[in-house]
Chain A
């Protein structure tokens, strides 16, 4: 199994690399289009801000590379948001794989702090990414922007409102939470991604 992790100007990429290694797979972390295209699985991870990461992807030609991928792709956190159409974060045009816009959380009560930081549950999970999930499970989130519920929603989380904590369209999967930091539950999701039937 050949796993490529897209290298770009987002943080936290090493955590994903470590998590894939814990599954017994040695991933390649690369911004080389040929290596990304040739991989069996591509992970598009990261933690960061939409405008500067989008600018970097475009400048390095990675925007076209990512949207044209045919193998299973997993976007994580900012990676998921960048796969959407547009983000309210600095009014950024994104990659448009998922035809949905990224919004900023609006606190309803004082307890709704932004960013949402910590463990929250994912519910109504769908697709083989969550195979073996029978009840709501806790996973780790850090984010200020969210994807509303839409046709692509494959997991739902409640924070100020119910929103999409995971998306899927064709070969593209994405999670708002960080499976690489979500303990045993996160490891299971990464394992499920690796084991997806193509």
Chain B
């Protein structure tokens, strides 16, 4: 049986791992390759490296880092951040990334998904979506059960769009995305659990895997997103980087709870 995946996410700035809380306040959390290797040895199923550098110089540094990651890491890894056109995808896949994650660029130019799928195959194309539940009754309290009008945001969660989460995810699926990585802005950094009601709606309506992101605080949150949110994979950063949840312990817990994981 196909296992549910645990995916540590490493935000990279100037060649170093950082983690933002609610997309601001960065704290250092280690060397990207050493950290990736450690996670791989501990049983992480995949890794995501997100380039949060804005400059051209930073992009070159990141591409060099991707080459080094590909040499050292023996599990699949996805890279994202600043991918605007096909030649960015080509550059990163050539450097050795297994998949690329596109976010704002896909919302600005949805045809990019079709182009990536046609040129490199759907399996390399992860569409990342940052969305916020904006109903008046909703507060940023991280309740996994919130649901309502989910608005997609671009530019690192700074600019709202006209797109609704479910419509956009469905469109991305139809255009040839290989996976959807959904980050709930209401839950990110709050550590009260993933947006499981919205995740379940997504997972049950799409024909591609859904990765849950934003809100992991305890082992039970992972269990809940797999069993209640029907997520195919769960991504987190700080709970892993700061050793709050050791991956071997998390996987053993999930196995005991009846979640099929790779041990």
Complex Cα distance A105/B204, Å? Answer: 19
Please tell me if the beta carbons of B233 and A15 are within 8 angstroms of each other in the complex.
no
Let me know if B40 and A113 touch, CB within 8 A. Answer: no
A117: chain B residues at CB < 8 Å are: 123, 178-179, 209
Q: Which of B46-105 contact A (CB under 8 A)?
A: 70-71, 74-76, 93-94, 96, 98
Contact of A138 among B3, B121, B178, B232 (CB under 8 A): B3
Chain B positions within 8 Å of A118 at CB level: 2-3, 5, 45, 209, 232-233
Is A106's CB within 8 Å of the partner chain B? no
> How many angstroms between the C-alpha atoms of A15 and B124 in the bound complex?
14
Given the interface contacts A113-B209, A181-B76, does A11 sit within 8 Å of B93 by beta carbon?
yes
Q: Is A32 an interface residue (CB 8 A)?
A: no
Shortest beta-carbon distance from A125 to chain B in Å: 17
Flag if A140 contacts B75 (CB, 8 Å).
yes
Known interface pairs A120-B3, A158-B1. Does A11 touch B71 (Cβ–Cβ under 8 Å)?
Answer: no
Tell me the bound Cα distance from A187 to B72 in angstroms. Answer: 13
B122 on interface, CB distance cutoff 8 Å: yes
A103 to B208, CA, bound (A): 19
**Can you name the residue of chain B whose Cβ is closest to the Cβ of A10?**
B121
A21–B67 alpha-carbon span in the complex (Å):
14
Chain A residues within 8 Å of B179, by CB? 117
Asked whether A11 lies within 8 Å of B74 as measured between CB atoms, the reply is no
Interface of A is mostly: mixed
Q: A11 and B121: CB pair below 8 A?
A: yes
What residues of B have a CB within 8 angstroms of the CB of A12 in the complex? 98
- Cβ contact within 8 Å between B204 and A110: yes
**Secondary structure type dominating chain B contacts:** loop
Closest to B5 in A: A118
Asked if B27 CB lies within 8 Å of chain A CBs, one says no
**Binary contact readout A9-37 vs B (1 if CB under 8 angstroms, 0 otherwise):** 00110110011011000000000000000
Chain B residue total in the interface (Cβ 8 A): 29
Contact of A19 among B74, B93, B123, B208 (CB under 8 A): B74
B122 / chain A contacts, CB cutoff of 8 Å = 115
Number of interface residues of A (CB under 8 A): 35
Inside 8 A of B120's CB, which chain A residues have their CB?
Answer: 11
Asked if B262 CB lies within 8 Å of chain A CBs, one says yes
- When chains A and B are docked, how far (Å) is the Cα of A14 from the Cα of B77? 14
Is residue A192 within 8 Å, beta carbon to beta carbon, of the partner chain? no
Q: Name the residue of chain B whose CB is nearest to the CB of A142.
A: B123
Nearest CB in chain B: distance from A189 CB, A: 12
A163 close to chain B: CB less than 8 A: no
Find the A residue at minimum CB distance from B207. A113
A142 vs B179: C-alpha distance when bound (angstroms): 12
Contact B3 A119 (CB under 8 A): yes
Q: Are A49 and B121 in contact (CB under 8 A)?
A: yes
Say if the beta carbon of A184 comes within 8 Å of chain B: yes
> Is A47 located at the chain interface by the 8 A CB criterion?
yes
Knowing A11-B124, A113-B207 are in contact, say whether A22-B74 is a contact too (CB < 8 A): yes
Question: What's the Cα separation between A170 and B2 when bound, in Å?
Answer: 30
Per-residue 0/1 for A114-132: is the Cβ within 8 Å of any B Cβ (1 yes, 0 no)? 1111111100000000000
B residues whose Cβ falls under 8 Å from a Cβ of A: 1-3, 5, 40, 45, 70-71, 74-76, 93-94, 96, 98, 120-124, 178-179, 204, 207-209, 232-233, 262
- In the complex, 8 of the A-B residue pairs with CB atoms within 8 angstroms, ordered by the A residue number, are A107-B207, A113-B207, A113-B209, A117-B123, A118-B232, A138-B3, A183-B40, A183-B74
